[in-house]
Amino acid sequence: MGKEFEIMKSHWLGRELTMEVVVGAFMVVVFLGLGYFTIILTRENWFVPKYTMQVRFTDVMGLTVGDDVVVRGMPVGKVKRLSLENEPASRVLVTLTLDQSIPVRKGYKITVASTSMLGGRDLAIDQGPEASPLIPNGIVLDGVQPYDLMADAAQMVNSIKTSLIDGGVITNMQSAVAQLNEMISRVNQGKGVLGKLLSEDDTLYNNLSASVTSLKNISGGIERGEGSIGKLVKDDTVYNDLSATAASLKNISGSIERGEGVLGKLVKDDTLYKKLESTVDEARATIDDYRETAPIVTFTSVFFGAL
């Protein structure tokens, strides 16, 4: 009996040991898989040398550890650490881990860029013009103040809101809507020309219809040559008379232009003008002589009359 118990005990211990080995091996495989997928997902390459770069910003706009570092649109590293600096100024020191050495030239630009509207960020490096001199390694670089699209959009919305409220735009719109409602109410009540046209009272419509009929009759009469206007439109007699009159006037003006007739001589010949001028001069001299002799004649008449 004791021998059978020993056999069963050793068998049970063997099974337990086998189970522990299997579980241990399984856990090792799980950890190895997790490590592998972690390396793949994080794109970390532990078997190549790493390069470090430090950049100072006044504001990182939500940049976090693990965000991508991008050069010409290609990821070349990660943000490793963020730390606040109070000396010599209040800034944020960003430490980068790069997969390769990135030469930076004078005129470089390092910015925090948005990757999506949901708030993703990455750090973009513009290496600068190729003709510019290189900046030595190990120098802390200065980043550019980030451009916050959402903050600018919020500021624009607030500005528009302020303009609408303080600028009186909403008040003017409310006033215009009130005036429009009043106009619609007047139209519904049949007031005004438009209201009368749209109302059930057809007096204005009948008047307009009668006016249109009258105009139609008048135009028909003109078309048939009735009345003075109709005769002017349809009969050639008036036209011929006017044409003849115009021809006569043309002949008369031609005669005057040529100096024919009394009027033509008055227009073209200056003899009559000179005679008229001479007559006027003689009349003026006679009047002047009369004015000079008038006091003597008057005095003589009075003197001999008194005798």
At 55-83, the pLDDT tens digits run 999 888 888 999 999 999 899 999 999 99
The predicted structure's pLDDT at residue 78? 93
Q: Are residues 137 and 56 in the same domain?
A: yes
Q: Are residues 129 and 103 in the same domain?
A: yes
Q: Is the pLDDT of residue 215 over 90?
A: no
In a domain, residue 203? The reply is no
Q: Are residues 17 and 60 in the same domain?
A: no
Q: Is the pLDDT of residue 35 over 60?
A: yes
Examine the fold and report which residue of 96, 117, 148 is the final residue of a domain before the chain moves on: 148
Report for 179-193, 261-275, 293-307: range of highest mean pLDDT: 179-193
Residue pointed to by tokens 């209040």: 90
Q: Are residues 58 and 143 in the same domain?
A: yes
Examine the fold and report which residue of 148, 179, 196 is the final residue of a domain before the chain moves on: 148
In a domain, residue 202? The reply is no
Q: Report if pTM > 0.85.
A: no
Contacts of 48 (CB under 8 A, 6+ apart): 99
Average pLDDT, rounded, for the chain: 76
Examine the fold and report which residue of 114, 148, 182 is the final residue of a domain before the chain moves on: 148
In a domain, residue 167? The reply is no
The string over 176-188, giving b where at least 16 C-beta atoms fall within 10 Å of a residue's C-beta and e elsewhere, is: eeeeeeeeeeebe
Which of these ranges, 179-183, 218-222, 247-251, 264-268, has the smallest mean pLDDT? Answer: 264-268
Q: Are residues 38 and 80 in the same domain?
A: no
What does the pLDDT average to over 1-9?
A: 60
In a domain, residue 26? The reply is yes
Q: Are residues 25 and 107 in the same domain?
A: no
The pLDDT tens digits for 188-205 are 776 766 666 666 666 766
30 or 266: whose pLDDT is higher? 30
The predicted structure's pLDDT at residue 116? 73
By DSSP bridging, strand 51-57 and strand 141-142 are parallel
Q: Are residues 70 and 105 in the same domain?
A: yes
Question: Which domain range does residue 32 map to?
Answer: 1-42
Confidence of residue 299 (pLDDT cuts 50, 70, 90): very low
Q: Are residues 15 and 63 in the same domain?
A: no
Handedness of CA 218, 221, 222, 228 (dihedral sign): negative
Q: Are residues 28 and 85 in the same domain?
A: no
In a domain, residue 302? The reply is no
Q: Are residues 125 and 69 in the same domain?
A: yes
What does the pLDDT average to over 227-254?
A: 74
Q: Is the pLDDT of residue 209 over 90?
A: no
| Count of domains observed in the chain | 3
The pLDDT tens digits for 136-190 are 988 999 998 876 666 666 677 777 777 767 666 777 777 788 888 887 777 777 6
- Rounded to whole angstroms, how far apart are CA atoms 72 and 113? 13
The predicted structure's pLDDT at residue 133? 93
In a domain, residue 185? The reply is no
Rg of the chain's alpha carbons, rounded to an integer?
57
Q: Are residues 55 and 38 in the same domain?
A: no
In a domain, residue 253? The reply is yes
- Copy the structure tokens of residue 51: 């390069």
Q: Are residues 38 and 55 in the same domain?
A: no
Q: Is the pLDDT of residue 47 over 70?
A: no
The predicted structure's pLDDT at residue 134? 93
SS (H, E, C) the chain: CHHHHHHHHHHHHHHHHHHHHHHHHHHHHHHHHHHHHHHHHHCCCCCCCCEEEEEEECCCCCCCCCCEEEECCEEEEEEEEEEEECCCCCEEEEEEEECCCCCCECCCEEEEEECCCCCCEEEEEECCCCCCCECCCCCCEECCCCCCHHHHHHHHHHHHHHHHHHCCHHHHHHHHHHHHHHHHHHHHCCCHHHHHHHCCCCHHHHHHHHHHHHHHHHHHHHHHCCHHHHHHHHCHHHHHHHHHHHHHHHHHHHHHHHCCHHHHHHHHCCHHHHHHHHHHHHHHHHHHHHHHHHHHHHHHHHHHHHC
96 or 161: whose pLDDT is higher? 96
Q: Return the percentage of the chain with pLDDT > 70, whole number.
A: 65
In a domain, residue 90? The reply is yes
